[in-house]
Amino acid sequence: LQLENDLRHAVARGELLLHYQPRIDAATLTLAGVESLVRWQHPTRGLIGPAEFIPIAEESGLIVDIGAWIIDEACRQHAQWRERGLGMVPVSINLSAVQLRDNGLCDTLRGALKRHAIDAAQIELELTESVLMDNGDAAIARLNAIKALGVSLSIDDFGTGYSSLNYLYRFPVDKLKIDRSFIQNMAAAPQNLALIHAIIGLGHTLGRQVVAEGVSQESEARMLREYGCDELQGFHFSRPLPAQEVEGWMRDRC
Ligand code: G
Ligand code: G
Ligand code: MN
Ligand code: NA
């Protein structure tokens, strides 16, 4: 409960920050974009990861305000990179179920895009498959409203949330991100290989791009490229990095 109390003041005290993990274009191996991942610089406990405080933020309802800060900060950073000549680097933002249900979400997004003069197509929201399934038709209506702003959408942790194929077709999403549990040890697990191959085929059949998460070995990257996966992300390429450190990727991108 002390942590929840501290979290209540974290935004106002400027204790939250975003790290960014590169997403790599599988065909060219150049930077395709970055995924923002929140961290909390706690005054006495040090750096706390999202797995520890996002659940508290969700249960307490603080996630709406924290999520609005995350959206604004990702947009601010995108605009700063653009202004510094580092190019237009698409930024993806993770969204909680509570945020998707919040009626203020589209206003929050619209406000941040306007404040930082962002081309909406440069922002991508990641929602887990289970968040989408739990919200059913209401989720589809909300996704359509987000898409109308010009923002792109991805299904995160794909393959773990039992999407019915019917829903998958109806979700207006641009990308499927294959959950990293399928990628880990893929070479040693033929059933994972078959599933990855099938997900890439399914995604492409539906006109969606397919991203592999948790790519941690060269051999995995090679197989995923052979399978026609569109983007690769994982420790093999880079861990999530502070904004300044990810700029090296942007300078090298050409
Ligand atoms: O960065 P890390 O591996 O610790 O992230 C752990 C989990 O926290 C991931 O599932 C990720 O989706 C989630 N997470 C990271 N950043 C955010 C964020 O900005 N918003 C939300 N809602 N979840 C996040
Ligand atoms: O659930 P989500 O996809 O948002 O989770 C993103 C988290 O996954 C990031 O916080 C990041 O630290 C973690 N991650 C990214 N790449 C790898 C990887 O190659 N291996 C492992 N174990 N975790 C990764
Ligand atoms: Mn994600
Ligand atoms: Na994921």
pLDDT higher than 60, residue 218: yes
Distance 52 CA to ligand 3 centre (A): 16
Atom of ligand 2 nearest to the CA of 213: 16
What residues does each domain of the chain span? 2-252
Instruction: Compare 253 and 37 and report the one with higher pLDDT.
Output: 37
- List pLDDT tens digits, range 77-135: 999 999 999 989 999 999 999 999 999 999 999 999 999 999 999 999 999 988 888 87
Cβ burial 134-150 (10 Å sphere, 16+ → b, else e): ebeeebeebbeebbeee
Write out the two tokens for 144: 């359509």
Element (H, E) at 42: strand 31-42
Across the chain, how many H-helices and E-strands are there? 11, 10
What are the φ/ψ torsions at residue 18 (nearest 5 degrees)?
-110, 135
* Pairing relationship of beta strands 31-42 and 16-25 according to DSSP bridges: antiparallel
- List pLDDT tens digits, range 197-209: 999 999 999 999 9
Provide the pLDDT for residue 253: 66
Mean residue pLDDT of the chain comes to 94
> Stretch 34-58: mean pLDDT, rounded?
97
- List pLDDT tens digits, range 147-198: 999 999 999 999 987 777 788 888 999 999 999 999 998 888 888 999 999 9
Atom of ligand 2 nearest to the CA of 94: 4
| Burial grade of 220 (CB within 10 A; 0-12, 13-18, 19 or more) | buried
Distance 156 CA to ligand 4 centre (A): 5
The CATH superfamily label for domain 2-252 reads EAL domain (3.20.20.450)
- The 3-class secondary structure across 143-159, one letter per residue, is HHHHHHCCCEEEEEEEC
DSSP 183-249: HTTGGG-HHHHHHHHHHHHHHHHTT-EEEE----SHHHHHHHHHTT-SEE-STTT---EEHHHHHHH
Pocket lined around ligand 2, Cβ cut-off 6 Å: 21, 37, 94, 156-157, 180, 213-216, 234-235, 240
Provide the pLDDT for residue 254: 47
Atom of ligand 2 nearest to the CA of 50: 10
Provide the pLDDT for residue 188: 84
* Top mutation candidate among 124, 235, 246 for ligand 2, by most atoms within 8 Å of CB: 235
ipTM of this complex prediction, to 2 decimal places: 0.96
Residue 187 CA, chain-centre distance (Å), reads: 25
